[in-house]
Amino acid sequence: MVRKQLTFISGGVRSGKSAYAEMLVREAHSERRVYIASGVAHDREMAVRIARHRKDRAQDGWWTIEQPQQLSEALPLIRQNDAVLWDCVTTWLANELYEGFEHGSLCADTPGCMEKKWRELKKTIDSIRAKAVYFAIVSNEILDEPLMDLVYQEWLGKIHQWLASCADEAIEMENGLAIRRK
């Protein structure tokens, strides 16, 4: 499997991560720009925000895949030589880790559940990377802040470390500035 360019972009909330990733994907020589969005509209404010983002991306020539969970389901929709942006890991992780909340049976509390999702995520990222001419992954850097949920924090740290290690570039955004870490 030939792997193509992967860029991992992390940073704090409103640090310019998504805008920077969008710029990088626009610069990639591709037939199509694909935006994989992980957000879920749990309230009116988020629904309005998602609708605005969807409209803005469509006007800018993006093809959007709404995929809040099971990133692998987006694979058949990605074509050879697409430039792909996935935004974002932190939202996806929350969606996956707390799956089953409504029924009182969280994935986070089910032995082996998150490990299975983790294996699938790594395979999916490798598969997208093999198809796409360019792949940018965005994530929030929240590990500097104290979190109440240690399970979430541990998984996010593990995912970030893996992404940084296998990425061709690892960029940290701070105040709109891209700091190249790798």
Which amino acids are annotated catalytic? 53
CA dihedral 52, 55, 57, 59 (to 10 degrees): -140
112 belongs to an annotated ligand binding site: no
87 belongs to an annotated ligand binding site: yes
119 belongs to an annotated ligand binding site: no
CA distance 143 to 124: 24
Tokens linked to 54: 């969807």
Q: Residues 16, 27: contact at Cβ < 8 Å?
A: no
3 belongs to an annotated ligand binding site: no
15 belongs to an annotated ligand binding site: yes
38 belongs to an annotated ligand binding site: yes
**Encoded amino acid at 113, one letter:** C
57 belongs to an annotated ligand binding site: yes
37 belongs to an annotated ligand binding site: yes
176 belongs to an annotated ligand binding site: no
Nearest to 96 by CA among 122, 127, 121: 121
Q: Which residues are annotated as a binding site?
A: 11-18, 37-39, 54-57, 66, 87
- Residues flagged as binding site for GTP: 11-18, 37-39, 54-57, 66, 87
